[in-house]
A and B are shown apart, each in its own frame.
Chain A
């Protein structure tokens, strides 16, 4: 988006609200939805990538040390990664803590 969504006028929208700019979902930071965040115990992580595979928002990224962790700009805190992790190394922690 050339402009943030809340500044676009009706005249600026494409016909049919077609989005012509590729990949602009990246600008929509869904991390603000989160009430819990996934915390990865990188010592326990076996680097299988199951969390990466299951994340519905492609918010799991591989850290430089080789383990996986959540990109909190986009992670909505759904908890699927924690549920699917075969070794239970991901814990959901309340954002209030």
Chain B
């Protein structure tokens, strides 16, 4: 078959990737804007194109519970959700990571209620930032398709054994029709061999999972988890490297665009990277020495790579897609300020929160943010955050 380039909706491409990954169990509850992913998967299974159990559940809480059960027996497991769905599954979401159960979630990022909104921002994923999952952010459909495979590879790595969320911006990516390069099934099978899980539930070798822990052992269990997430880092790099070798498409935890010789940079996460890179080009033509830094890996956070990319820059303009009420800024800026604290050559951080609940952030808006942010940095107005485009 070889590579095939298709013009296709990103949600459908993700469902096709799940099929190519030959998953065993899919448990999901439809929610906008993730719906097309699970609808298409239901169809694929019903048509007999994929030999898997598609378990229609009564809620997201049940979806994640089913996923934990299937992952516990070593079945390749997929789910997908958004916003309120993620909120409803959050109890079990944390447990999936604590029990170190490999599974992949396509997380179609959407704002949390209230006010009720179905549109895109990052408030849902930030709610579960500390759950212990690996979080990958994607910028376009191709990245979402590719990282579905990489996510399974990472998740099932015996040295990782963690659930992985592939974040993609709701509507902006999920409902976009893009040219996407599909890989050959043979290549996928090579990249993603059959999964054998150590300590899987099996009657021949009984184990207990999800036991309670007294104060005497809880701290040790948390450190075990912390090290699990931290130690997943080199394995994530390896999974991306091998994917790059096979397909020619390479991924890194921190990706930069025209940043090497830039005096200052804008920092984005998710689909905003595409628009931002075009604006960087335009501003470069006008003589602005601006570059772009994109965070692909949110957990484990790539501290060293981030510092390598930005130390020595004059300032950073960080775009957040979520608000932390009464807090010091958006979650990304908060993280980056912390990563740079007391580092030599650390740039000041100007934080904008933009595009909440799908409010459009156009090229013009990026230009405004970059130029206004530069002025703020020059006048040392770098505390807190600015809600971009706020009326009143």
Contacts and interface: CB of A to CB of B under 8 A. Distances in A.
B206 A17 contact: no
Contacts of B217: 5-6, 8, 13, 17
A35 B199 CA distance: 38
B4 interface: no
B202 to A, nearest CB: 12
A16 B199 CA distance: 10
Interface residues of B, number: 23
Interface string A4-24: 011011110111111110100
B223 A10 contact: yes
B49 interface: no
Given A5-B214, A10-B227, A22-B206, A16 B220 contact: no
Nearest to B198: A15
B116 interface: no
Interface size class of A (residues with CB under 8 A): 10 to 19
Contacts of A22: 206
A17 B224 CA distance: 8
Given A5-B217, A10-B223, A18 B208 contact: yes
Contacts of B211: 17, 19
B207 A18 contact: yes
B204 to A, nearest CB: 12
A17 B207 contact: no
A20 B199 CA distance: 8
B220 A8 contact: yes
Interface string B146-172: 000000000000000100000000000
Interface in B219-263: 219-221, 223-224, 227-228
Contacts of B224: 10-11, 13, 15, 17
A16 B216 contact: no
B76 interface: no
Nearest to B215: A6
Contact of B213 (A11, A14, A15, A17): A17
B98 A16 contact: yes
Interface in B43-69: none
A16 B207 CA distance: 12
A16 B214 contact: no
Nearest to B99: A16
Given A10-B224, A13-B221, A19 B207 contact: yes
Contacts of A17: 98-99, 211, 213, 217, 221, 224
Nearest to A28: B214
Given A5-B216, A8-B217, A15 B100 contact: yes
B98 A20 contact: no
B101 A16 contact: yes
Contacts of B99: 16-18
Interface of B: 98-101, 161, 198-199, 206-209, 211, 213-214, 216-217, 219-221, 223-224, 227-228
Interface of A: 5-6, 8-11, 13-20, 22
Closest 5 CB pairs of A and B: A16-B100, A10-B223, A10-B220, A6-B216, A19-B208
21 contacts: A5-B214, A8-B220, A9-B220, A10-B219, A10-B223, A10-B227, A13-B220, A13-B221, A15-B161, A15-B198, A15-B224, A16-B98, A16-B99, A16-B209, A17-B213, A17-B224, A18-B199, A18-B207, A18-B208, A19-B209, A20-B199
